[in-house]
């Protein structure tokens, strides 16, 4: 299952390279918005969702349940492949809406199973359930689009807000809390008898709901909306600190037993999470509106979470399960991908920030972004080849 997820990751990155290519040498036949849908759906549902599914089965599926999970996984792949083939051709059309609805239904079944699973240790249960709530709540956004279009609201602010609603509860909620639940479950597996970090979860949950308002700042709302959005970002920061304080003591000693790369990757994920919350807080300041409203800033922010929080956390999990083997070539692949990620962030943010400080424009930004996308693809392919070439044994990780 994790290998299938990785293949979808590679597919989404190939699509990302094609999207970047269009800024260098556009193809007349290439319908950018349609291919963008293919990219984002492959990344969200083919990569992240499938990887979470693999983790859940590894951690919590017992006996006969495994068969059910495999069947559900197969149905979800029909939906994923349908979307991957359909979006470039028809964008949002009959087939792709059917496949995405199928995936949403399958995702809801998966969510119910996670909610009811008795195999989840008590310390991870609340966190996992909050993650499931975010996943299910995110679905309200796309479900609202059809009725809105029928009511002639396509041009109203509610329409993009529904899309942002989906994105927000996915990448600020589900994408963060599911790996957090796995971290808690792994700690319990290792004999940690701590209770569920309730205060941290209340703060994180409150922060997730309030920071949806960050997605509405482009509407120039009244000051109290900005205030609530800021409170949400601060609440996430405080929740993150308390969560970290609860899990870090469990990792101590890991570095001595070979989990060093995993621990480092988890630190990358946590640091990027804290930086994300700081960015969200800064975004609430009216003085920074011009920077925040820029398309490049939004894309940088989204990929920050996807590539610097979710990807390192999932690679850390894969390393600890033995799905990816630590070694020189794996590290080289990850380093190449990391260099590509950093170059992308620099290439996207320089044009936004340079005018503010009077710096000269960067020549060949599109070429830099294309090269950076190629580096990410090469690095992730490298990791895949390394894993396909070697059968690996699971080992005890964080
Ligand atoms: C690793 C290499 C990746 C590259 C090169 C890449 C590239 C791109 C590009 C070029 C865009 C369109 C930007 C624009 O039109 O302004 C985009 C949008 C998007 N990407 Fe990626 N991407 C990558 C990874 C990911 C991952 C891992 C995810 C999710 C897990 C993801 C999710 C999205 C989403 C949701 C959008 C749409 C954002 C929007 O329309 O507001 N991408 N990406």
For residue 33 and ligand 1, the question of a CB distance below 6 A is answered with no
**pLDDT the model gives residue 395:** 52
Residue nearest to atom 32 of ligand 1 (CA): 40
SS3 6: helix
Cα gap 11→46, rounded to integer Å: 9
Closest among 40, 1, 12 to 381, alpha carbons compared: 12
The Cα–Cα gap between 18 and 27 comes to: 10
What residue segments make up the domains of the chain, in order of their start?
1-119
Torsion of CA 358, 360, 366, 368, to 10 degrees: -110
Is 396's pLDDT higher than 80? no
Tell me how far CA of residue 375 lies from CA of 21, 306, 318, 362, 382, in angstroms.
14, 16, 21, 20, 10
> Which pTM does this prediction carry?
0.93
Q: Is the predicted pLDDT of residue 158 greater than 80, yes or no?
A: yes
Q: Is the pLDDT of residue 69 over 80?
A: yes
Res 255: pLDDT? 43
Q: Is ligand 1 within 6 A of the CB of residue 302?
A: yes
- Choice between 357 and 58, residue whose per-residue pLDDT is larger: 58
Low-confidence winner among 172-176, 298-302, 340-344 (lowest mean pLDDT): 298-302
Q: Across the chain, what does the average pLDDT equal?
A: 91
The residue count for the chain: 398
CA angle (283, 288, 293) in 5-degree steps = 70
Which of 100-109, 183-192, 255-264, 297-306 has the least mean pLDDT?
A: 255-264
3-state secondary structure of 258: coil
How far is the centre of ligand 1, averaged over its atoms, from the C-alpha of 136 (Å)?
22
- For residue 392, the model assigns a pLDDT of 53
Please compute, for residue 216, the number of CA atoms within 13 A of its CA located in the half-sphere on the CB side.
22
DSSP classification of residue 389: T
- Whole-number Å distance, alpha carbon 236 to ligand 1 midpoint, is 24
User: What value, to the nearest 5°, has the Cα angle with vertex 381 and ends 379 and 384?
Assistant: 115
Compute the distance from residue 274 Cα to the ligand 1 centre, in Å.
21
Residue with tokens 């293949």: 7
Residue from 5, 6, 19 to probe ligand 1 pocket by mutation (most atoms less than 8 Å from CB): 19
pLDDT tens column, 9-41: 999 999 999 999 999 999 999 999 999 999 999
């Amino acid at each position: 299952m994790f290998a299938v997820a990785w293949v979808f990751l590679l597919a989404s990155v190939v699509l990302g390279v094609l999207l970047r290519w269009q800024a260098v040498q556009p193809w007349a036949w290439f319908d950018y918005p349609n291919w963008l849908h293919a990219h984002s759906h492959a990344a969200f549902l083919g990569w992240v969702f499938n990887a979470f599914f693999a983790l859940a089965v590894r951690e919590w599926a017992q006996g006969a349940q495994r068969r059910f999970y495999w069947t559900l996984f197969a149905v979800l792949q029909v939906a994923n492949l349908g979307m991957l083939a359909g979006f470039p051709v028809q964008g949002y059309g009959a087939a792709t809406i059917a496949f995405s609805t199928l995936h949403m239904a399958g995702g809801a079944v998966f969510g119910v199973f996670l909610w009811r699973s008795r195999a989840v240790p008590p310390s991870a249960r609340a966190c996992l359930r909050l993650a499931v709530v975010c996943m299910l709540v995110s679905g309200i956004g796309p479900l609202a689009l059809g009725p809105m279009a029928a009511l002639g609201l396509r041009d109203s602010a509610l329409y993009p807000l529904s899309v942002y609603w989906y994105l927000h509860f996915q990448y600020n909620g589900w994408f963060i809390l599911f790996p957090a639940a796995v971290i808690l479950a792994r700690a319990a597996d290792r004999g940690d008898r701590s209770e569920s970090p309730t205060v941290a979860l209340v703060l994180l949950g409150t922060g997730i709901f309030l920071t949806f308002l960050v997605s509405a700042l482009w509407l120039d709302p009244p000051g109290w909306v900005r205030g609530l959005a800021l409170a949400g970002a601060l609440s996430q920061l405080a929740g993150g600190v308390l969560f970290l304080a609860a899990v870090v003591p469990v990792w101590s000693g890991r570095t001595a037993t070979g989990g060093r790369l995993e621990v480092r990757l988890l630190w990358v994920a946590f640091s990027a999470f804290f930086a994300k919350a700081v960015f969200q807080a800064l975004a609430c300041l009216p003085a920074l509106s011009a920077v925040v409203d820029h398309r490049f800033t939004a894309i940088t922010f989204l990929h920050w979470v996807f590539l610097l929080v979710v990807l390192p956390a999932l690679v850390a999990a894969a390393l600890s399960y033995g799905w990816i083997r630590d070694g020189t070539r794996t590290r080289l692949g990850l380093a190449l991908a990391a260099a590509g990620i950093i170059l992308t962030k620099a290439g996207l943010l320089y044009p936004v920030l340079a005018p503010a400080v009077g710096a000269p424009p960067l020549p060949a930004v599109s070429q830099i972004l294309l090269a950076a996308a190629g580096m990410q693809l090469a690095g992730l392919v490298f990791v895949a080849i390394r894993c396909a070439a070697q059968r690996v044994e699971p080992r005890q990780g964080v």
